Amino acid sequence: MYSDRYKAVAGMYAFLASLCLAFAVQAADVDDVEEGKQLFMQKGNCQACHGWAGDGRKMDNQMPDGANLREMKLDRTTFVMFVKCGLPGTGMPPFDKFAYSDGRCFGKKQSDLKAQGLKMADPPATLQAREIEAIADFAFAKIIGKGAMDRAKCADYWGSATDVCKEFKQ
Ligand code: HEC
């Protein structure tokens, strides 16, 4: 009797705990996407070259032309590597503080780049590995392979139909 009742209560707690856990996990994902968006816009300033929508309409005319990330087919590992290591020979800067210091990027060091006449652009700021993962969460949720912006995608992007979205077709 007593133990049955105990089991029922314990079962209920286990169920509640798993619900809380499921919720916490989901909330963390949403936070990562939001944090990634902040990093894309501000600290990493990806938008300066890739545009706020990641479509290559850059925000700063003095900056090199960034790729249109919305039309890109790229897996997450490659994306993270490009952000950490940049793309030698283009204006895409490396965001890993230790890129080209120990061969972690394409097996090359500063001296190898120099020998090949490749100059890397300076990043607006260096990013930690987990910040780059957050940017990847955001990019894969809202940008990569999502195609051209439209009104609905724009409202989803900003969380509401803001004025910036008026330029897009319904
Ligand atoms: C100073 C300008 C600049 C900044 C800042 C910048 N990029 Fe880039 N990015 C470029 C350029 C230029 C290219 C290469 C375009 C090309 O292919 O010629 C590029 C390429 C890329 C690519 C590879 C696309 C492909 O060709 O497959 C990815 C992914 C990317 N950028 C992501 C980012 C992210 C994420 C950030 C912010 C953390 C960022 N970039 C910041 C200029 C920039």
Residue nearest to atom 5 of ligand 1 (CA): 46
Instruction: Specify the pLDDT at position 142.
Output: 95
Atom index in ligand 1 nearest the CA of residue 127 equals 38
Residue pLDDT, tens place only, 99-151: 999 999 999 999 999 999 998 999 999 999 999 999 999 999 999 999 999 99
- Tens digits of residue pLDDT in 56-100: 999 888 888 899 999 988 899 999 999 999 999 899 999 999 999
Q: Is 56 in the pocket of ligand 1 (CB under 6 A)?
A: no
pLDDT band per the 50, 70, 90 thresholds, residue 170: confident
- Assess whether the C-beta atom of 91 lies below 6 angstroms from ligand 1: yes
Would you place residue 28 in the very low, low, confident or very high pLDDT band (cuts 50, 70, 90)? low
Identity at 87, one-letter amino acid code: L
- Cα angle 90-96-102, degrees, rounded to a multiple of 5: 95
Higher pLDDT, 141 or 160: 141
Between these two residues, 13 and 31, which has the higher pLDDT value?
31
Residue type, 152: A
More confident residue, 20 or 119: 119
Question: 164 C-alpha vs ligand 1 centroid, how far in Å?
Answer: 23
CB atoms within 10 A of CB 166: 9
For residue 90 and ligand 1, the question of a CB distance below 6 A is answered with: yes
Residue 45 CA: nearest ligand 1 atom is 5
So what's the pLDDT on residue 19? 61
Q: How far apart are CA 105 and CA 84, in angstroms?
A: 8
Between CA 96 and CA 158 the distance in angstroms is 28
Largest CA distance in the chain: 80
Q: Is the pLDDT of residue 11 over 80?
A: no
Contact 133, 37 (CB under 8 A): no
- Residue 73 has a pLDDT of 87
Measured from the Cβ of residue 142, the count of other Cβ atoms closer than 10 Å reads 18
Residue 92 CB–ligand 1 contact under 6 Å: yes
Q: Which atom of ligand 1 is nearest to the CA of 72?
A: 27
- Name the burial class of residue 35, with classes exposed (0-12), middle (13-18) and buried (19+) by CB atoms within 10 angstroms of its CB: middle
Q: Is 103 exposed, middle or buried (0-12, 13-18, 19+ CB in 10 A)?
A: exposed
Q: Name the amino acid, one letter, at 49.
A: C
- Residue pair 55/139 in contact (Cβ under 8 Å)? The answer is no
Euclidean distance between CA atoms 107 and 72, whole angstroms: 25
Single-letter amino acid, residue 29: D
